[in-house]
Amino acid sequence: MAYIGSVVSGPPVTVARATTISEAARKMGRTGVGALLVVDDDRQAAERQVDDRQAGERQVGDRLVGIVTDRDIVLRGVARGIGPDGRIDALMTTEVITVPAGMGVERAYEIFRDHAIRRLPVLDGRRIVGLVSVDDLLIRSEREIADLVHPLCEETFAPHREAAAPVVTERVTTTTTTTTAAVRMADFAAPARRRTALHAHPGDTLVVHSHVPRAPDRLGEIFEARTDAGDPPFAVRWSDTGHVSFVYPGPDAEIRRGGERAVADSTR
């Protein structure tokens, strides 16, 4: 199970509650974030440290007291005539929903859905780990889907091996005289592995050797290679179907030079 702490992409961007609105806005611009976590200012933090030591507790960093977004600055600040010298804690949201770093990512989806919020501060005890947004989870989901889809796309559009066409043989049933079609699989032989990659150019022929007795090889005309050097995959038009596919030739394939290339190769 993935934990929400692993989704945090960077350190938290915080400001003291006594920070002015203009300073907070400039910090948003410098760091490229749309939300700031508001923590106790230095004086309040020092007072809390004294209280904690007297109580025999260990201080674990700044205490989160609120969150403020760029939207808050516009709607709660500018729209209400609060000047740039006003304190940022006049605009912040104080009832902040936080999540522990060890919580599962699936639970974060539920919290975003149930509370209609876009950001969740992540804490490790009292220490602020960072901020996770809906966008972070969407990006994570997109990457997971891409990891699943990418191999499928490669195999669909550029299969690693183009199999020979199945061979149909006739078989007469013992109970009726009806002739049925069956694919003979027992006669397939394991192909030898080729140690070097095939190279081809437009006009060459790709031959996929059959390992079924009396079955013809499969031929296809190559009309495009991935690089000028002739690296696979090749775009092949198959003679038996007329269809075009992109192929990484398997160990049971060979290239037959076509036209002027065959003549040129024979004179070397």
* pLDDT above 70: percentage of residues in the chain: 70
What 8-state DSSP symbol labels residue 5?
A: G
- State the Cα angle at 216 between 188 and 235, rounded to 5°: 95
What whole-number distance in Å separates Cα of residue 259 and Cα of residue 201?
11
* pLDDT of residue 187 exceeding 70: no
What whole-number distance in Å separates Cα of residue 132 and Cα of residue 109?
11
Residues forming a β-bridge with 130: 122
pLDDT value at residue 173: 46
Residues 237-260: tens digit of each pLDDT: 989 888 888 777 777 789 999 755
* pLDDT of residue 268 exceeding 90: no
pLDDT value at residue 241: 83
* pLDDT of residue 118 exceeding 60: yes
* pLDDT higher at 187 or 125: 125
What 8-state DSSP symbol labels residue 158?
A: S
**CATH code of domain 168-266:** 2.30.30
* pLDDT of residue 36 exceeding 60: yes
Amino acid, res. 26:
R
Closest C-alpha to 205, from 220, 195, 190: 220
What mean pLDDT is predicted for residues 115-124?
90
* pLDDT higher at 1 or 47: 1
**CATH code of domain 4-142:** 3.10.580.10
- Going from N- to C-terminal start, the domains of the chain cover 4-142, 168-266
pLDDT value at residue 188: 39
* pLDDT of residue 18 exceeding 80: yes
DSSP string, 84-115: TTSBGGGTSB-S---EETTSBHHHHHHHHHHH
What whole-number distance in Å separates Cα of residue 106 and Cα of residue 115?
15
* pLDDT of residue 190 exceeding 50: no
Distance of CA 220 to the CA centre of its chain: 35
What mean pLDDT is predicted for residues 152-181?
49
Q: Which of 68-77, 132-141, 181-190, 228-237 has the highest mean predicted lDDT (pLDDT)?
A: 68-77
What confidence tier does 143 reach under pLDDT thresholds 50, 70, 90?
Answer: confident
Q: What average pLDDT does the structure give for the chain?
A: 77
* pLDDT of residue 197 exceeding 80: no
pLDDT value at residue 115: 87
* Dmax (CA) of the chain: 99
Amino acid, res. 95:
E
Supply the angle between the helices 134-157 and 105-115 in degrees, to the nearest 10.
Answer: 120
Token representation of residue 127: 């220490």
Give all strands (DSSP E) within 141-266, no chain letters. 168-172, 179-183, 205-208, 218-225, 234-238, 244-247, 253-256
Residues 6+ apart with CB under 8 A from 142: none
